[in-house]
Amino acid sequence: MLLAMLIHTIVQLSVTAQQNLTPFGIASQSTVYGGTLSNPNNAILPPISNDFDLNICSHTADGSDPSADWWMFQFSFELAYITDITIYYRTEFAYRMDGFKLYVTNTSAIPPNGYLCYEDSDPGLPNITQNIPCYKSGKYVIYYDTTGDEFFGPVVELCYVAINGCPKGMWGPNCTESCSSICIGKQCYPENGSCIWGCDPQRCVNGRCDTHTGTCIDGCVTGWVGQSCICGKCNMCK
- Segment 16-34 shows an average pLDDT of 88
pLDDT in tens, 71-89: 999 999 999 999 999 999 9
How far apart, in whole angstroms, are the C-alpha atoms of residue 150 and residue 194? 46
Q: Which among 207, 209, 203 is positioned nearest to 225, based on CA atoms?
A: 203
pLDDT in tens, 186-209: 899 999 888 888 888 888 899 888
Q: Taking 60 as the threshold, does the pLDDT of residue 176 lie above it?
A: yes
How far apart, in whole angstroms, are the C-alpha atoms of residue 28 and residue 110? 12
The model's pTM is 0.82
Per DSSP, the residues of 68-96 read -EEEEEEESSS-EEEEEEEEEEPTT-GGG
